[in-house]
Structure 1
């Protein structure tokens, strides 16, 4: 399974929504607290671009003391599925302005990573700053949304066939008990789907690849092998 540090880096560098929170600031105008871009530097610090009139920017530029801040990231499944929130991550540390790195009307802020925490489909776990710095995001993170939407729109029958690999865990004939099989998450280690029965009960199943994939080409091969196994 991906480590907690890898999962956190993946969320930070994915297209998930995020908000930058500073204690004592009014959070009512949450739109101006949302970074328009974010990246991770070589030391593990976060670089967050925000509107220049954001209250977070004013705090970072004008406060005498360096303010603490928390970047809260919410990961939502890119396909329609019950319980769409797949996880959240928090990265906290000291905040400072980095002038001259943004275009007009924007300001770059640096969040010096001191601690992180992830709570997702794998569970909840703390992440140290060194672990976060050294981790790599999942190589499929830039493609996951498109791939899951493609699977959901064009491969429904093949997805339903996957529950045949569950054996006794499916609890009965697959088509009768599992009318809905939705691709929920994809990473280099495998595919997770959410199965929802007619009565409304939902649960997840994960299908691991024989070996971690490194790119989309290897992913296609792994998915082909998975669907081939489900078809027999």
Structure 2
């Protein structure tokens, strides 16, 4: 169950872009083959996904043999909560489209483009034809031309158009969310308890855990005997920086005079 809110919330496209940014890995499914792990999944400005799969795997070999025709595939990304919850999956995103090989002459330039925005160490393992990658950990670079994108979470399943997806951006706090929630759980349990006091009385009987944090508010997970319940506590207005986030959380706690939380330095 998710409590309704009249305040601003992330759009579907924003939720998906944030899930893209947080997902550490993804699985690529092609009919008739075992799913392949994809450590790199990067949305390009032209509306396609650059992804990687093991260069010697069945998926890469099938795509290369298919040539320009490509093959139908589904990329699945899982957004996990940064805490050990009873049900750790926060959302699933499925990207369906046609998978094609990236010509060898374009690989290096595309890797540079991806690295400029997301310096994923796995990019160093892509077989770019220069012979300097470890043969045991090589990946092929492929391009998934998107047909549809669907996200499913505790609110249900919803699709989003490609133009909306390209126009959205990840939440500004997506990179630091894990650190904040872990720090809140381990060192500021009193904050969680104060936030929990805002919940309906019927939901205060379970174990309350921090579930999510974005520019629009805080999400809590109540793990009760009757199941899990996700509740959003919205900020009065969206925030864009650390100072605004700290103040918004203090207001939610009902204690605007308290010192703000500080993200633990890594």
* TM-score bracket, shorter-length normalisation: 0.7 to 0.9
Q: Identify the match of residue 185 of structure 1 among 198, 209, 212.
A: 212
| Counterparts of 2:242 and 2:26, CA distance in 1 | 27
Aligned length: 220
1:86 and 2:79 aligned: no
Structure 1 unpaired stretches of 5+: none
Residue of structure 2 in register with 1:47 after alignment: 50
- Determine helix, strand or coil for the equivalent of 2:198: helix
Partner SS for 1:212: coil
Give the CA deviation at 1:214: 1.6
- Residue 203 of structure 1 corresponds to 229
Is 2:221 the partner of 1:218?
no
C-alpha deviation, 1:230, in angstroms: 9.1
SS at match of 1:113: strand
2:16 to 8, 12, 16: 8
Instruction: Encode CA deviations 1:109-140: one digit per residue, 9 max, x unaligned.
Output: 11111111011133211112222222212121
Say if 2:26 and 2:39, in contact at 8 Å, map to a contact too.
no
Give the direction of change, closer, same or farther, for the CA distance of 1:51–1:218 in structure 2 (3 Å limit): farther
Q: Is the 8 A contact 2:250 2:256 kept in 1?
A: no
- Alignment partner of 1:42: what SS? coil
| Cα distance change, pair 201–126 in 1 and its aligned pair in 2 (3 A) | closer
Instruction: State the 1:24 CA deviation.
Output: 2.0
- 8 Å CA contact 1:196–1:203 kept in 2: the answer is yes
3-state SS in 2 of match to 1:24: coil
2:61 paired residue number: 58
Please identify, of 77-86 and 213-222, the stretch whose mean Cα deviation from structure 2 is larger. 213-222
Q: Distance in 2 between matches of 1:54 and 1:187?
A: 38
The CA deviation string for residues 87-119 of structure 1, in whole angstroms up to 9 with x for no partner, is 111011111122333353222111111111011
Deviation of residue 182 (structure 1)?
0.6
CA apart distance, 1:231: 9.8
Deviations 1:55-97 (A, max 9, x none): 2211221124310111011222110222221111101111112
SS at match of 1:131: helix
Tell me the equivalent position of 2:4. none
Q: What displacement does 1:225 show? A: 2.5
Q: TM-score, normalised by structure 1?
A: 0.85
Partner in structure 2 of residue 22 of structure 1: 30
C-alpha displacement at 1:163, in angstroms? 2.4
User: With CA pairs under 8 Å and 6+ residues apart, which has the higher RCO, 1 or 2?
Assistant: 2
Q: Answer yes or no: is 1:112 the counterpart of 2:145.
A: yes
Counterpart-to-counterpart distance in 2, 1:36 and 1:129: 22
Q: Give the equivalent residue in structure 1 for 2:159.
A: 126
**Alpha carbons 1:148, 1:184 under 8 Å: kept:** yes
d(CA) in 1 for partners of 2:239 and 2:214?
8
2-structure distance, mates of 1:44, 1:138: 19
Alignment correspondent of 2:113 = none
